[in-house]
Amino acid sequence: MTRATSDAAARTAISEVIRFDRAAVRIAGRTIWSDVSLSVTPGEFVAVLGPNGVGKSTLIKAALGLVGLSSGSVTVLGRPAGSSGAQIGYLPQRRVFDPGLRVRGIDVVSLGGDGERWGVPFPLAARFSPSRRAANQRVHEVIEMVGATAYAHRPIGQVSGGEQQRLLIAQALVKRPRVLLLDEPLDSLDLPNQAAVAALLATICRDHGVAVVLVAHDVNPILPYLDRVTYLAAGRAACGTPAEVITSATLTALYQTPVEVLRASDGRLVVVGEPEAPARHTDRHSAAEGRP
Amino acid sequence: MTPTGISWNVVADVRQLLMFPFMVNAFRAGTIVAVIAGALGWFMVLRRQSFAGHSLAIVSFPGAAGAILLGISAMLGYFAAAIAAALVIAAIPRSLGGQPRSSESAIIGTLQAFALACGALFVSLYGGFLTSLTGLLFGSFLGISGSQVLVLLIVAAAALAILALIGRPLLFASIDPAVAAARGVRVRLLSTIYLVLLGCAAAATSQITGALLVFALLVMPAATAQRLTARPAASLALTIAFGVVTAWLGLAAAYFSIYPVGFYVTTFGFAGYVLAVAWTAARMRVRSRYAAAAEQPA
């Protein structure tokens, strides 16, 4: 009970979930981006946009403390990045489980609750331990929240990409995180699944007060739900509401080359004249690959 | 009572099997080995590290041959070589996540071939004991002493205790290394500990099935169990049960015949796997037929 109340106190005390302050990252001697300032407040839905290879994943990894900054600072829930563990839910980029992986979806989800704890779960623990029962209850709750009840007992390698993505979102939610960091979760999904997963994330964000930071290369599936975007390009970032950032003027200034944003009749945005992605993808292949 | 060969009287057969102390020791050692191989093999199949596991067993062969050549205990040679190889494999840099581990398998393959060649050299340096060579490669259950059983028991108990301690984070890191790392699981450390434990299991298994047939107890029971169920606890328990049954059947069959124990253990393991595949295929067919019947309007 005391833990719950102190949790509640911590929840109300923090006004910023994530804060980057003039941050810069260098990997293998190359500056990925610099002078990035952004803040995410509780319950906000934020997208990180930009062309491939610009360092969007690196931004997420910096927030997790997996990548160090070369200058500036990043705080997560009022503490330095990397020290907030279970309060952050994380979905790394493009995870597709091997079709031969014979472990059920529900097992993968429940690892989100206690996967880092030493030991092994005792058989029949749920019959004797109330905390074990509560943990199982929570696992079923998040599976229902993401609408995965029908296939949670099938081997995770045998469900579709969209279903795996829902199970992974459930896994990230087990510990009631205050922020979800998702690296291209809509990638490799078909359009109906993109829309459905985007709507699911928006529901989690609105109804459960979980801030969502989502890396995407196409803004359109999430555009209706976005509070703010951070647009990374040419080693710098522009932050603000979608209406402020995804405009011809802002993106032209960011890219320093003429870029036009067109609005289709159905409301979708199309960015025209975006320079090609750089040939180096050092954020994806962290080994020091050829610099020119 | 004198040994009379196999009969239809199961009780008499079992009594006959356990008549000699060497056979009792073989059953004890086989049981211990089946349990440790099952538990570590289950994770090995899950982690797709079968190649590494096989190489650890292969490396234990020159370890044993070298130990015999130097006049020290073969068992020490088995374990020392397999653990050293486990540390070498663990030192191979590997990226997190689902990237192909091509450089890893190339390095392991190189190591494995060289180890096997060293084993051949040690055997020929020792000079003409070909029956023992067959035993090292294809398994033997003769001449396991009480003290060897005790060593196996201690190694297996220690390995299983450590595995129980790291079980859950190891499962997490095996299924989903990137998320596990973000949650503070020491993925690299766990992988090293796991490989050392796997080295112990492979070395122990080599002593029953021979270095070349370790998969009979390391892979087959786990692959069979994972076919049958996707529940981690149930499939781990099934794996160990299958391993123990396979080892017992193999030892019994080898006692009543003149052929190597490795052949029998492997054959029973293989038969179990084939049955499991057939069973799951049959179950799928019945289910889809049932579903089709349910969809049809009455």
* Under 8 Å between Cβ of A238 and A245: yes
This complex has an ipTM of: 0.84
The verdict on B289 touching A (C-beta cutoff 8 Å) is no
Kindly indicate the confidence band of residue B2, based on its pLDDT and cuts at 50, 70 and 90. low
Give the best residue of A60, A93, A102, A117 to mutate against chain B (max B CB count within 10 A).
A102
Of residues B97, B184, B232, nearest to A103 (C-beta): B232
Per-residue pLDDT at A282:
46
Buried b (16+ CB within 10 A) or exposed e, B3-21: eeeeeeeeeebeebbeeee
Tokens 């031969």 locate to: A100
CB contact under 8 A, B171 and A86: no
Q: What is the pLDDT of residue A225?
A: 92
Cα distances from B72 to residues A140, B66, B117, B202, in angstroms, run 56, 9, 21, 20
Say if the Cβ atoms of B183 and A171 lie within 8 Å.
Answer: no
d(CA A251, CA A249): 6
Q: How far apart are CA A266 and CA A222, in angstroms?
A: 14
- The residue assigned the tokens 């009780």 is B11
Which residues of A fall within a CB distance of 8 Å from B183?
A: 85-86, 90, 115-116
Q: Is the CB of residue A170 less than 8 Å away from at least one CB of chain B?
A: no
Residue B192: predicted pLDDT? 95
Rg (CA), chain A: 20
DSSP A273: S
- Strand, coil or helix: A248: helix
Who among B172, B231, B235 is closest to A111 (CB)? B172
Q: Tell me which CATH homologous superfamily contains domain B10-212.
A: ABC transporter involved in vitamin B12 uptake, BtuC (1.10.3470.10)
Place of tokens 């040994």: B3
Residue (of A119, A172, A186) closest to A142 by Cα position = A172
Strand A30-40's sheet: what is its strand order?
Answer: A30-40, A18-27, A71-76, A79-80
Chain B residues with beta carbon closer than 8 angstroms to that of A172:
179
At A163-200, the pLDDT tens digits run 999 999 999 999 899 999 999 998 878 888 899 999 99
Q: List chain B domain ranges.
A: 10-212
Domain spanning A14-97+176-272, CATH class: alpha beta
Question: Cβ contact (<8 Å) for A120 and B164?
Answer: yes
Asked if A92 lies within 8 A of B179 by C-beta distance, the reply is yes
pLDDT confidence of residue B95:
52
Which of B48, B102, B176 to substitute to test the interface with A, most A CBs within 10 Å? Answer: B176
> Tokens 């603000």 belong to which residue?
A240
CA dihedral for B44, B48, B50, B56, sign (positive or negative): negative
Domain locations in chain A as residue ranges: 14-97+176-272
- Mode of pairing for the β-strands spanning A260-263 and A269-272: antiparallel
- Which one has a higher pLDDT value, A272 or B146? B146
Band of pLDDT at residue B127, cut at 50, 70 and 90: confident
Contact A116 B95 (CB under 8 A): no
Q: Which of A116, A171, A286 lies nearest to residue B185, judging by beta carbons?
A: A116
Which of B164, B175, B226 is nearest residue A108 as measured by Cβ atoms?
B175
Distance CA A48, CA B291 (A): 45
Q: CA separation (Å) from B154 to A175, A187, B22, B51, B204? A: 39, 50, 19, 26, 11
Residues on chain A touching B175 (C-beta within 8 angstroms): 97, 101, 103, 108, 111
| Contact state of B183 with A115 under an 8 Å Cβ cutoff | yes
Largest CA distance in chain A: 66
Distance CA A77, CA A81 (A): 9
The count of C-alpha atoms lying within 13 angstroms of the C-alpha of B193, restricted to the half-sphere facing its C-beta, is 19
Do B63 and B77 contact (CB within 8 A), yes or no? yes
Indicate yes or no: CB of A104 within 8 angstroms of CB of B231: yes
Does B277 contact A at CB distance below 8 Å?
A: no
Distance CA B77, CA B23 (A): 24
Between chains, do A118 and B233 touch, taking CB under 8 Å as contact?
no
Count chain A–chain B contacts defined by CB atoms under 8 A.
86
Q: Which residues contact B40 (CB under 8 A, 6 or more apart)?
A: B53, B159, B163, B194, B197, B198, B200, B201, B218
Cβ–Cβ under 8 Å, residues A261 and A246: yes
Q: Which residue in the set A104, A116, A123 is minimally distant from B172, CB to CB?
A: A116
Q: What is the pLDDT along chain A (292 residues), one digit of tens a residue?
A: 444 444 444 455 568 889 999 999 998 888 899 999 989 999 899 999 988 888 999 999 999 888 889 999 999 988 888 777 678 899 988 767 888 889 999 999 999 988 888 988 777 777 778 888 888 999 999 999 999 999 999 999 999 988 999 999 999 999 899 999 999 998 878 888 899 999 999 999 998 889 999 999 888 899 989 999 999 988 888 899 988 888 888 888 888 888 888 888 887 888 887 776 554 444 444 433 333 3
Q: Is it the case that residue B80 has pLDDT exceeding 80?
A: yes
- d(Cα A118, Cα A136) in Å, to the nearest integer? 18
β-pairing, A88-91 vs A179-183, is parallel
| HSE of B116, CA atoms in CB hemisphere, 13 A | 14
Using an 8 Å CB-CB cutoff, list chain A residues near B95: 286-287
State the CB neighbour count (10 A cutoff) for residue A6. Answer: 10
Nearest CA of chain A to the CA of B230: how many Å? Answer: 5
Q: Is the whole model's pTM more than 0.90, yes or no?
A: no
- Among B179, B184, B232, select the one facing A107 at the smallest CB separation: B232
Helix axes B74-90, B102-126, angle to 10 degrees: 160
Structure-token match 């190189």, residue found: B110
- Starting at the earlier edge strand, list the strands of the sheet with A236-240: A88-91, A179-183, A211-215, A45-49, A228-233, A236-240
Task: Report B:174-193 residues touching A (Cβ under 8 A).
Answer: 175-176, 178-185
Tokens 């009022």 correspond to: A78
Residue B234 contacts A where some CB pair is shorter than 8 Å: no
